[in-house]
Amino acid sequence: MIPKNIKSWLDSGTPWIWLNAGAVSVSILMVLGLLTLIAVRGLGHFWPASIAEFEYMDAEGTNTLIIGELVDHENVPRSRIAETDIRIPEDMDFIDRYLIKTGNRDHLGMDFRWVVGNGMMDIRYPDELMAVERRAWGNLYAYLVAVKQNGQDDPADNSSVWDKFQQAIAETAVVHDAIEHIEKDLIGEINFSMERLRLQAKQLGDSGAQALLAEQQNQLQQQYDSHTEELSRLYAGLGRYSITARISDGSEIELPLSQVVRAYRPNAMSLFAKVSFYLKKLWEFVSDEPREANTEGGIFPAIFGTVMMVIIMSIMVTPFGVIAAVYLREYAKQGTLVRIIRIAVNNLAGVPSVVYGVFGLGFFVYFIGGNIDELLFAESLPSPTFGTPGLLWAALTLAILTVPVVIVSTEEGLSRVPRSIREGSLALGATKAETLMRTVLPMTASAMMTGMILAIARAAGEVAPLMLVGVVKLAPSLPLDANFPYLHLERKFMHLGFHIYDVGFQSPNVEAARPLVFATALLLVLIIIFLNLAAIHIRNKLREKYRASEQH
C-alpha cells in the first residue's frame, strides 16, 4: 500500500517534471563533460611532465631501473593480472597499474609500459634527468654524460655540459633550417620547373624546340648541382656534434645532434620555465610540420589545408547560394513548384555527407576532372592532373554539401526584410534590380554572413566526403607556394578532421599519438564553436535590427 502523500505526489505529475529536468541535466553534463575532456586532454599534453626514476620489481622478482613519465593510472581487479605474482599480497583485490612513457623506443623496443604499483620502489625525480625530443624514434629519457665535437670531447671549453648541449642544439638548428630551406624551397622549385619543361618538351615534340628546352634544362641542372654541393657541405656541419647519454639500463648511447629537436630537464624547471616551455610547445603545435608519421610535431599543414579548402569553398558557395536564394524568394513565381524545390533544398541539408563524397568522386573527379585532363593536360597523361582527388574537387564537393545552408539562411534573411522598405524603394523609382542591390541585399548581408559561417562550420568538420575527394594523411607540399600559378588547386591536402581519424586510427603508435589527437580535436572544436557562436551572435543581432524596423 502506497502511503497517501506519496500517491498524491505521484498523481500530481511532479516526478515526471523532475525526470524531464534530469534529461536536461544529463544532456548539459554530457556536452560540458565532453568539451572539458577534450580541453584537458588536449592542453595537458604540452605541459613538461616530471620524469620519474624508480626501481621496478617484475613478476619474477627481478629488479630493473625504469625512467619515464607517468601517463595513466588504472585500478584493475586481481584476476586481470597474472595469477602468480609474488609482489601482490593474497588478500588484495585491486591493483594499481601505471602507464609509464619510457620513450627510448630504439633501445627498449616500445614507448609505453604498464607497471604494477606494488613493484615500484624508491620513486625519485632527479634534476639531471633530461628529455630529448628527437626527429625519429620519439623521446629519449636519459642522463647527459658528455657533448662531443667531431667525436671528441672538447676539454678547452669548461662551461657545464648542459649549457654546451643547449648551445650545440641551437647551432645545429640553424644548419638544419638552412638544409630544410634548400631541400624544400629551392630544390622543390627546380623540380617543379623541370617537370614543367619535361611536359613542354612532350607537348612540342619537334627537335628545334627540344634543343631550347634542353638548354633550359641544363641551366636548371646546374643550379641543382650547386644546391646539392651546398647541401653536402651543410650535412657535414650537421654531423659535427653528438652527445653521450646514459639510459635506464645503464648503457651509454651516442646521439648525433642532427637527430635532436630540443632537450629539457623538466624536474629542474621552475614554474615560470614550465609555462614558457608550454607556450613554446603550443606554438610549435600550431606552426610546425608533423614528424614521425604525424605522431609528433605540429599540425600546421592540416590547419593550412583546412583553411585553404574552406576559403575556396566559401568563395564558391556564397555567391551561388545567395543567387539561388534571391531567385527563389524574389524572382521565382511562388507556387507549388517553388515549395517543392524549397523542401528539396531543405532536405538536401540532411542527406548524408558521404553521399556527396560519392557524387564528388564520380562526377567532379572522374567525369569533369578526367575531361579537363584530356583537354588541357594531355601531355602529362596517363598520370592525372585534375582527374584525381584534389583541393578543388574537395572544395566543390563541400560547396554543394553546404549550399543548402546558405540558401536557407539567406532566404530567411530576405523574408525578414520588411515589405515597406522594398515598396519605398520601388516607389522612388528604383528598378527591381536596384531595389535588390541597394536596399534588400545590404539588409540581408548579415543573414548571408550567418549562412556562410554555418557553411564554413559544417565544412570544417566534415571528413567522410573528403576521404573520397582529396584529403591525404601527408601531403608533400602545401597547395599554396612560390611556384607559378601559386595556388595549386589540383594538389591533395591535409585536413584537421582527417588528421584526427588518421592519427587516431591508422597510426602505428596510437598510444603516443593520442594526446596529439586530443589537441587537434580541441583546436577543431574551438574553431567550430567559435564560428557557430559568431553565427548565432550575428543572427540575434539581425533579429533585433528587424524587430526594430518592423515596429516603425
| Choice from 3, 155, 205, 350 touching another protein (CB under 8 A) | 350
Report if residue 230 touches another protein, rule: CB under 8 A: no
Residue 300 makes contact with another protein by CB under 8 A? no
Nearer to another protein, 52 or 436 (CB): 436
Task: Annotate each residue in 523-542 with x if it binds another protein (CB under 8 A) or - if it does not, as one string.
Answer: -xx--xx-xxx--x------
Site for another protein in 112-141 (CB under 8 A): none
Q: Which of 2, 156, 375, 433 binds another protein (CB under 8 A)?
A: 433
CA terminus-to-terminus distance, the chain: 64
**Touching another protein, residues 450-479 (CB under 8 A):** 457-458, 460-464, 467-468
Distance (Å, whole) CA 11 – CA 15? 9
Distance CA 502, CA 301 (A): 14
Dist CA 302 CA 285 (whole Å): 11
Nearest to 224 by CA among 253, 195, 201: 195
Dist CA 340 CA 427 (whole Å)? 32
Binding piece for another protein, criterion CB under 8 A, among 19-27, 108-116, 124-132, 254-262: 19-27
Query: What is residue 479's three-state secondary structure?
Result: coil
CB of 433 to another protein, least distance (A): 4
Q: Which grid coordinates are listed for 417? A: 526584410
String of contacts with another protein for each residue 81-110, x by CB under 8 A = ------------xx----------------
User: DSSP assignment of 257-317, as one string?
Assistant: GGGEEEEE-GGG--HHHHHHHHHHHHHHHHHSPEETTTTEE--HHHHHHHHHHHHHHHHHH
- Sole binder of another protein in the list 320, 385, 421, 534 (CB under 8 A): 320
Of 92, 279, 315, 351, the one binding another protein (CB under 8 A) is: 351
| Contact set for another protein, span 490-519 (CB under 8 A) | 497-498, 500-501, 504-505, 510, 514, 517
Angstrom distance (rounded) from CA 69 to CA 104: 12
Asked if 31 is part of the footprint of another protein (rule: CB under 8 A), the reply reads yes
Three-class DSSP category at 52: strand
Q: Could you say whether residue 13 binds another protein (CB under 8 A)?
A: yes
- Residues numbered 400 to 429 that lie near another protein (CB under 8 A) are 400, 403-404, 407, 423, 426-427, 429
User: Does the protein bind another protein through residue 213 (CB under 8 A)?
Assistant: no
> Which set of grid coordinates corresponds to residue 366?
572522374
Q: Which of 361, 394, 405, 414 contacts another protein by CB under 8 A? A: 361
Q: What is the torsion angle, in degrees rounded to the nearest 10, for the CA atoms of residue 69, residue 70, residue 72 and residue 77?
A: 140
User: 114 vs 505, which CB is nearer to another protein?
Assistant: 505
Query: Which CB, 417 or 457, lies closer to another protein?
Result: 457
Q: Which three cell numbers stand for residue 323?
A: 543567387
